[in-house]
Amino acid sequence: TNLYTSFTEAVSQKKKLLAILIDPEKFDLENSASFLRNLPVATTHLFVGGSTVPEGMTEHLIKELKLYTAKPILLFPGDVSQITVVANGLLFLSLLSGRNPEYLIEQQIKAVSKLRGSALEVIPTGYILIDGQNVSAVSQVTHTNPMVQNNVQAIVDTAKAGELMGAKLIYLEAGSGAKIPVSAEIISAVKKELNVPLIVGGGIKTEEQINNAYKAGATMIVMGTAFEK
């Protein structure tokens, strides 16, 4: 089974995907079973990742989660140390909104020795940080600025460049705990020019925000903070 197919099929069948993000650093392992029992029924995927996760914690968490769920687990790593082959897939991120070579290409080079010989499905993903009206962990850790929401054209062009460079997914990120999520205007403008599925996350809490993002053209929505204890 191919994880990426779940994205392309969702697009062609007009289905919507929902990923719940678990940050290993903020998650109490003892709550795994009950957390998974209480997931929203619409949940299709689990994302695991965070900005600053101690070595080994991600692998430990995923092994635990797999005892209780068959949902596909995708790594959404803040850095190369979080890559573990026990996951089902890896969002191979390049931070296209930033101009820090460490997160554009260096971390990716470092990942190769970890991926060599593994069957982990790697999905090239253009990652675009957009201003969510608070200082995001992504911005702090990567020393990059988010793109401003009112420069829609710059965001569209960045996303399109990512697609032309080979990204199979584009992730529009307002940052975990964002005060405002990525606007519907941005999502639909990007959607209009792109052929690859769109992931949207950061600051999404309400049903209305979820529906707006789907209606604007998101194939997958990611929610983290709303489900953290």
Stretch that binds ligand 1GP, among 10-18, 24-32, 110-118, 175-183 (CB under 6 A): 175-183
Q: Is 130 in the site for ligand 1GP (CB under 6 A)?
A: no
Nearer to ligand 1GP, 87 or 222 (CB): 222
Q: Which residue has the tokens 């089902």?
A: 88
The backbone torsions φ and ψ at residue 123, rounded to the nearest 5 degrees and listed phi first, read -115, 110
Q: Contact with ligand 1GP (CB under 6 A): which of 201, 210, 212, 219?
A: 201
**Choice between 89 and 202, CB closer to ligand 1GP:** 202
Residue in 77, 78, 217, 224 binding ligand 1GP, rule: CB under 6 A: 224
Q: For the chain, report the end-to-end CA distance as a whole number of angstroms.
A: 33
Under the binding rule (CB under 6 A), the answer on residue 204 touching ligand 1GP is yes
Site string for ligand 1GP, 22-51 (x = CB under 6 A): ------------------------------
Q: Which run of H or E residues covers position 215?
A: helix 207-216
- The residue range among 63-71, 146-154, 185-193, 218-226 that interacts with ligand 1GP, by the rule CB under 6 A, is 218-226
C-alpha triplet 19, 23, 24: angle, nearest 5°: 125
Determine, following the binding rule CB under 6 A, whether residue 126 of this chain makes contact with ligand 1GP: no
When asked if residue 159 is in the footprint of ligand 1GP (CB under 6 A), the reply is no
Among the listed residues 66, 177, 180, 188, the single contact to ligand 1GP using CB under 6 A: 177
Is position 203 an interface residue for ligand 1GP (rule: CB under 6 A)?
yes
Q: What are phi and psi of 75, to 5 degrees?
A: -75, 135
Residue 148 CB burial class (10 angstroms; 0-12, 13-18, ≥19):
exposed
Contact between residue 43 and residue 18 where contact means Cβ atoms under 8 Å apart: yes
Measuring CA to CA, how many Å separate 128 from each of 103, 169, 189, 190, 228? Answer: 12, 11, 14, 11, 23
Interface ranges with ligand 1GP (CB under 6 A): 21, 173, 176-178, 201-204, 222-226
